[in-house]
Amino acid sequence: MSIKSASALVLLSLGLFAGGCAAPATEHAATSDDAFETDLKNDFQSGEFKLYADPETEPLPECDVHTRLVLRSKGGRPVAEMRDLVAGFCEIYVEPNAREFALEYEMDRCGSMTLSGEAMVRGQKRHIAITDHRQRLCYDHQPSMLVVDEYDALGNVTTRFAGR
């Protein structure tokens, strides 16, 4: 292979790669069409996570205060279920504060997914934004595989992290 041919092949490969990285984010609203159902199966990953206020938290097994997040599909739509919990033998009480958010999502060019939604919790509207880096392809550092921002009715935000 000549140098000219090799150079052309490298330029073509770089052009294809750059085009793929410059592709716009895909957005998915919670609709009932078949295309969304297929996209949900391909993009959305369910899972159960323990959330903490600090991404570096190393919980103590004897007293693990956390928020449990369950991501799942319910009726073909992504849903986030959250509940505050205590695990272990410590003698404290945490109000469970159960809440469920119907979600919409979009995926960025690096493969991170942003899920967002709202719910009524004890008569007040709450918003949630979950940044899911589990499928991330870019090599930049992220603080956690999941970053969860939960907004109360006044706009105050509580940020929690799940694992590294």
pLDDT digits (tens, 9 = 90+) for 64-104: 999 999 999 999 899 999 999 999 999 899 999 999 999 99
CA distance 69 to 33: 27
Instruction: With respect to residue 135, please indicate whether it lies within any of the assigned structural domains.
Output: yes
- Residue whose entry in the numeric block shows the structure tokens 């960025």: 108
Give a yes or no: residue 14 inside a domain. no
Residue 21 domain-assigned (yes or no): no
Q: In which domain, by residue range, is 134 found? A: 26-162
Looking at residue 164, what is its pLDDT? Answer: 64
77 in Cβ contact with 30 (< 8 Å): yes
**Ordered DSSP codes for 47-61:** EEEEEBSSTT---BT
Q: Is residue 107 part of a domain?
A: yes
Say how many domains are in the chain: 1
pLDDT of residue 154: 95
Residues of the chain with pLDDT under 50: 1, 3-40
- Residue owning tokens 């990953």: 45
